[in-house]
Chains A and B, each alone.
Chain A
Amino acid sequence: MKSRYVIALFSLLLTAFIFKSIYLLKASYSNSNEGIILNENALIGKQIFREKNCIACHQFYGLGGYMGPDLTNVFSAPGKGRNYARAIISVGTAKMPKINIPDHEIEFLLDYLESIDKTGESPLKNYKVSPYGNIEISNSRKGN
Chain B
Amino acid sequence: METSKLVIAGKEINLSSLFISIGILCLMTGMLFGLLASIQFMYPKFAQILPFVKNRPLHVTLVITWIFSICIGAIYSYAPKPDSAKLNKTLIKYHILIFIATGIAIIFSYLTGTFGGREYWEFPPYFSIFIIINWLLFSANILRILLKDKQPWPIYKWMWFAGVIFFTLTFLESLVYLLPFVAKNPIMELTIQWKSYGALVGSWNLMVYGTAVFLGNKISGNIYGKDTAKTVLLFFLGLTNLVFNWAHHIYTLPTISWLKTTAYIISMTEWIILWDIIRSRLKNSPASASNEFIKTKLFLKWADKWIIINLFLALLISIPAINVYTHGTHITVAHAMGSTIGINTLILIAFLFFYMEDKNIGRSNNGIKLEKRFNSIFQFGLLIFFFSLIGAGLTKGISMIHLGNDFNSSMKLASPFLIMLIPAGIIMCLGLFPLLFRILKPLLLHTFCKD
Q: Is B105 an interface residue (CB 8 A)?
A: no
Q: Is B271 an interface residue (CB 8 A)?
A: no
| Contact yes or no, B261 A134, CB < 8 A | yes
| Contact yes or no, B187 A56, CB < 8 A | no
Q: Is B12 an interface residue (CB 8 A)?
A: no
Please name the residue on chain B nearest to A127 by beta carbon.
Answer: B324
**Given the complex of chains A and B, what is the CA–CA distance between A125 and B187 in angstroms?**
18
| Contact yes or no, A6 B41, CB < 8 A | no
Q: Is B185 an interface residue (CB 8 A)?
A: yes
Once A10-B158, A115-B186, A143-B187 are accepted as A-B contacts, the answer to whether A62 and B119 lie under 8 Å apart by CB is no
A residues in contact with B158, CB < 8 Å: 6, 10
Q: Is A66 an interface residue (CB 8 A)?
A: yes
**Given the complex of chains A and B, what is the CA–CA distance between A46 and B186 in angstroms?**
10
B residues in contact with A6, CB < 8 Å: 158, 232
Q: Is B95 an interface residue (CB 8 A)?
A: no
| Contact yes or no, B251 A97, CB < 8 A | no
A-contact 0/1 string along B233-245, CB 8 Å cutoff: 1001001101110
Q: Is B199 an interface residue (CB 8 A)?
A: yes
Q: Is B354 an interface residue (CB 8 A)?
A: no
Please name the residue on chain A nearest to B256 by beta carbon.
Answer: A33
Q: Is A89 an interface residue (CB 8 A)?
A: no
Interface SS of B by simple majority: helix
- Closest chain-A Cβ to B32's Cβ sits at a distance in Å of 18
**Given the complex of chains A and B, what is the CA–CA distance between A69 and B41 in angstroms?**
13
Within 8 A of A (CB), among B11-61: 41, 44, 51-54, 56-57
Please name the residue on chain B nearest to A66 by beta carbon.
Answer: B330
| Contact yes or no, B117 A69, CB < 8 A | no
| Contact yes or no, A122 B195, CB < 8 A | no
Once A28-B188, A134-B320 are accepted as A-B contacts, the answer to whether A120 and B253 lie under 8 Å apart by CB is yes
A residues in contact with B41, CB < 8 Å: 67
Within 8 A of A (CB), among B319-340: 319-324, 327-330, 332-333
Once A10-B162, A116-B186 are accepted as A-B contacts, the answer to whether A95 and B44 lie under 8 Å apart by CB is yes
**Given the complex of chains A and B, what is the CA–CA distance between A120 and B56 in angstroms?**
28
Q: Is B400 an interface residue (CB 8 A)?
A: yes
A-binding segment of B67-75, B176-184, B355-363: B176-184
| Contact yes or no, B183 A43, CB < 8 A | yes
B residues in contact with A83, CB < 8 Å: none
| Contact yes or no, B194 A63, CB < 8 A | yes
B residues in contact with A98, CB < 8 Å: none
- Closest chain-B Cβ to A13's Cβ sits at a distance in Å of 5
A-binding segment of B2-10, B137-145, B165-173: B165-173
Q: Please indicate which of the listed interface residues B181, B233, B252, B257 has the most CB atoms of chain A within 10 Å of its own CB.
A: B252
Q: Please indicate which of the listed interface residues A37, A60, A124 has the most CB atoms of chain B within 10 Å of its own CB.
A: A124
Could you list 27 examples of A-B contacts with CB < 8 Å?
A6-B158, A13-B243, A17-B199, A18-B169, A20-B244, A25-B192, A27-B256, A28-B188, A35-B187, A35-B188, A37-B184, A38-B183, A51-B115, A53-B53, A53-B115, A54-B117, A56-B53, A56-B57, A61-B328, A67-B44, A119-B254, A123-B252, A123-B327, A133-B319, A133-B322, A134-B260, A141-B254
Interface residues of B (CB under 8 A from A): 41, 44, 51-54, 56-57, 113, 115-119, 122, 152-153, 158, 162, 165-166, 169, 173, 176, 179, 181-192, 194-195, 199, 227, 229, 232-233, 236, 239-240, 242-244, 249-257, 260-261, 264, 319-324, 327-330, 332-333, 400-401, 406-408
Interface residues of A (CB under 8 A from B): 1-3, 6, 9-10, 13-14, 16-18, 20-21, 24-25, 27-29, 31, 33, 35-38, 43, 46, 49-57, 59-70, 94-97, 115-116, 119-120, 122-125, 127, 129, 133-137, 141-143
- 18 more contacts with CB within 8 A, not counting A53-B54, A53-B117, A125-B401, are A13-B236, A17-B166, A21-B169, A31-B188, A33-B187, A33-B255, A35-B186, A36-B185, A46-B183, A53-B113, A55-B122, A61-B250, A95-B44, A97-B51, A123-B401, A124-B252, A133-B322, A135-B251
What 4 pairs between A and B have smallest CB-CB spacing? A62-B328, A50-B117, A69-B407, A53-B115
